[in-house]
Amino acid sequence: MAEWEDREIINQVLQGNSQLFTLLVEKYQKSIFNYVFRLVRQRQEAEDLAQETFVKAFFALPQYDNSYQFSTWIFRIALNLCRDYFRKKKLPFLSLHEPIGDDENGELEDMIEQQAFLDPDGEILNQELRTKLEKAIDQLPLKFKEVVILRHLENLSYEEIAQVTGLPIGTVKTYLHRARKALRKELRKYLD
């Protein structure tokens, strides 16, 4: 289903055919659940937040700006709900104060880009490394974890990540750089 089809479905829903919204739910439910689960790491909370994402999206459709992709918009809703979840739990968003450097492509970056060991539907090349990487990503501060998941697991561009998170592109790149640096440090012994 192409983006123009998403917009056509939204137009039909806004004209009163609310049953068509289930097509959007079917298309995006797996991606939204996976994204939310990777952030909150608890299945029940992820299911609840994913469901709440679609409910919120349905009622907010009249405010949807179709100059944005629907996928970006719904990820933004999911992200905001996750941020609210963490605020209510009083968990920190960001705690690293490392200097900003040039973005570098190391071995970890190459491995993340390949995603062969991160794709749950694909072949797992190294189960131990996958487990260590998932644990390392989970331990990142939330803002870093958000951009890593959106970039490397959801395959969003820097521009799309900026739209989803509401951050400037430069900040997205900085967060990715810092996250990659932290992951490289954590996984150094597995990369040698």
- Rounded Cα distance between 26 and 31, Å, is 10
CA distances from 120 to 2, 61, 93, 145 (A): 24, 31, 27, 18
Q: Which CATH architecture has domain 107-191?
A: Orthogonal Bundle (1.10)
- Rounded Cα distance between 83 and 77, Å, is 10
Where along the chain do its domains lie? 3-88, 107-191
Q: Are 146 and 35 in contact (CB under 8 A)?
A: no
pLDDT at 189: 74
pLDDT at 192: 60
**One digit per residue, pLDDT tens: the chain, 192 residues?**
456 699 999 999 999 999 999 999 999 999 999 999 999 989 999 999 999 999 999 999 999 998 889 999 999 999 999 999 988 887 544 323 333 333 444 444 454 444 434 444 444 445 777 788 888 898 999 999 999 999 988 889 999 999 999 999 999 999 999 999 998 888 887 766
pLDDT tens column, 102-119 = 344 444 445 444 443 444
Residue 145: HSE in the Cβ half-sphere, 13 Å Cα cutoff: 25
pLDDT at 88: 87
> Identical fold at 3-88 and 107-191?
no
pLDDT at 100: 33
pLDDT at 120: 46
The torsion angles phi and psi of 110, rounded to 5 degrees, stand at: -60, -40
- Rounded Cα distance between 76 and 160, Å, is 10
Alpha-helical segments (H) within the chain:
3-14, 21-40, 43-60, 70-88, 107-114, 127-138, 142-148, 158-165, 169-191
> The whole model's pTM is what?
0.69
pLDDT at 155: 87
Q: What is the dihedral of CA 31, 34, 39, 40, to 10 degrees?
A: 130
pLDDT tens column, 49-80 = 999 999 999 999 999 998 889 999 999 999 99
Q: Which amino acid is at 5?
A: E
- Rounded Cα distance between 180 and 101, Å, is 12
pLDDT at 70: 94
What are the tokens at 6?
A: 């998403």
Task: Name the CATH topology of 3-88.
Answer: Rna Polymerase Sigma Factor; Chain: A (1.10.1740)
Calculate ∠ Cα 109-110-114, nearest 5°. Answer: 115
Reference 33, options 174, 189, 154; nearest CA is: 154
pLDDT at 191: 65
